[in-house]
Structure 1
């Protein structure tokens, strides 16, 4: 378990002793696909560290329309915002596949922040990154055409979650077409058209819950 924790971005600078402390205060839980971990407007009660699998963060409109905000994969964490400001959850979280998590209760999370500055610093940096991403997304929705938004989203997923071999980046994505379209802020039809074009030009190749991005062809 210590080796798994060392792969978590939040804990990359901690010693083995500190990692053992994390394990002592956390509860490991495993969930099947499709489980809602918390819903928008729920009170925040826990912080989550993803060890295996993937989770989508999303919101719903009053008419029930879903908007996927981000994809969380192994080595990432989520759920800290409502613990920090004491307000309800700003979005919902749902497992996309069989998922293992470390869950830290809210009061224990606050103790951890007080005692481990490196964790506090990392969380602050992550919140700043998300704010920048939100600002960029608002800009894209306002000024950028659908094709470019799809391309940017594909590259973003590859950069954040992919593994590179030469000019090819492979990424496993459990999101379906509807969810990918929601992340990019385009219609499913627009997404399909762009992905089909990229596939025809051999920039993207698709497998089961996986795609490969050829950077040489993308830049060619």
Structure 2
């Protein structure tokens, strides 16, 4: 059984406190592709991701799926509705087989009130969500589709950057997933990836997508914008 200690917002708790949290949860496994949270639903449970990965998506008026974020083991989803009681603002899907700990809104409130470190971690997570959303709004408002694709590759590279300034994205990002994250088409993603490859800024290798110099990619994006 996966321990609750893998969950980021619970990281500061000792074994006694984790045992207290354990009494307030139900465990469940979702198969890959299953819908965990339905958009606009009235449910308010919080889902702590113990293993696997989930994708948070929304839909445009035309029905296009827009990926907001992917969250792996240690993350949590659903806390906004648990806090304000409003309907779900997005859909959450299991990308892989995913084990979760489900916390009712009442129990989530108890946990937050009983363990101040959890409350602070939840606040920090909400701040991260706001910052991520703000960056997306700025990108969509100020960057063209091509630049948004480059910016997404750059963001992923900055997370995986090595000491020599290179980055390895493994596995190779799927074009349709990048398109969903930056609100464009797969054809646009393929065209931009081709341009980056011809300029020596990325290369497909056995291990994944190799970015030899993340700073050069950042400079390429800056020059494209200006």
- Which bracket does the TM-score occupy, shorter chain normalised? 0.7 to 0.9
Corresponding position: 1:187 with 2:185: yes
Equivalences for residues 53-132 of structure 1 within 5 A? 53-132=52-131
Quickly say closer, same or farther: Cα 1:159–1:117, change in 2 above 3 A: farther
Structure showing greater radius of gyration is 2
Unpaired runs of 5+ residues, structure 1, are none
Quickly say closer, same or farther: Cα 1:28–1:157, change in 2 above 3 A: farther
TM (norm. structure 1) is 0.84
Aligned equivalents of 2:66 and 2:15: distance in 1? 39
Quickly say closer, same or farther: Cα 1:109–1:76, change in 2 above 3 A: same
Aligned equivalents of 2:151 and 2:201: distance in 1? 17
Whether the aligned pair in 1 keeps the contact of 2:167 and 2:214 (CA below 8 Å) is no
Q: What is the deviation of 1:172?
A: 4.7
CA RMSD, 1 decimal = 2.6
TM (norm. structure 2) is 0.82
Q: Which moved more, 1:172-181 or 1:194-203?
A: 172-181
Unpaired runs of 5+ residues, structure 2, are 217-226
Secondary structure of the structure 1 residue equivalent to 2:12? coil
Quickly say closer, same or farther: Cα 1:56–1:116, change in 2 above 3 A: same
Secondary structure of the structure 2 residue equivalent to 1:219? helix
Quickly say closer, same or farther: Cα 1:74–1:157, change in 2 above 3 A: farther
Quickly say closer, same or farther: Cα 1:171–1:29, change in 2 above 3 A: farther
